[in-house]
Amino acid sequence: MFMDTSQFRISDAQSFSISDAVTDSPDGFDRDESKATVKRLTKRLQSLQRLMWAERKQRLLVVLQSIDTGGKDGTIRSVFGKINPQGVKVHSFKKPTERELAHDYLWRVHPCVPANGEIGIFNRSHYEDVLVVKVHGYAPKEVVEKRYEHIRNFEQMLVDEGTTIIKILLHITKDEQKERLESRLNVPEKNWKFQIGDLKERAHWDQYQEAFETMIRETSTDSSPWYVVPANNKKYRNEIISTLIVETLEELDMQWPAPEEGLEGIKVE
Residues 209-217: what's their mean pLDDT? 98
Q: What is the pTM of this model?
A: 0.95
Whether pLDDT at 1 is above 70: no
Q: Determine the average pLDDT of the residues in 168-194.
A: 94
Q: With a cut of 90, say whether residue 123 has pLDDT above it.
A: yes
pLDDT per residue as tens digits for the range 241-253: 999 999 999 999 9
Q: Give the chain's domains with CATH numbers.
A: 5-250 (3.40.50.300)
Q: Does 232 score more than 80 pLDDT?
A: yes
What gap in Å lies between CA 236 and CA 75, rounded to an integer? 11
pLDDT tens digits, 21-59: 999 999 999 999 999 999 999 999 999 999 999 999 999
pLDDT at 265: 83
